[in-house]
Amino acid sequence: MVHPGLLWGIGNKLTFGNRLAFELGSGRYGFTPLLNRGFTLGKANVFAELVLPVRFGNDQEVSFTAALHFGIGF
């Protein structure tokens, strides 16, 4: 998958982004808007991210999914 995109800081440790999606081999494509929030836990920088992937193509119905990602920044 190729998933390039842009991110914009919108204040209060929030980031809005939008990525394009090209699923190699499947013929599917689409976009993935996201909202990311950073936190500090002790000495660690962590984040939570809401992603909303939308996919089209390859004679399949449009798909929409919501997901949460959690991680540690470094």
Give pLDDT tens digits for 23-58.
Answer: 888 889 999 999 999 999 988 999 999 999 999 998
What are 72's two structure tokens?
């540690």
Phi, psi of 38, rounded to the nearest 5 degrees: -95, 150
Mean pLDDT of the 49-72 span = 95
Question: How far apart are alpha carbons 55 and 22 in whole angstroms?
Answer: 9
- Burial label for 52, CB within 10 Å (0-12, 13-18, 19+), is middle
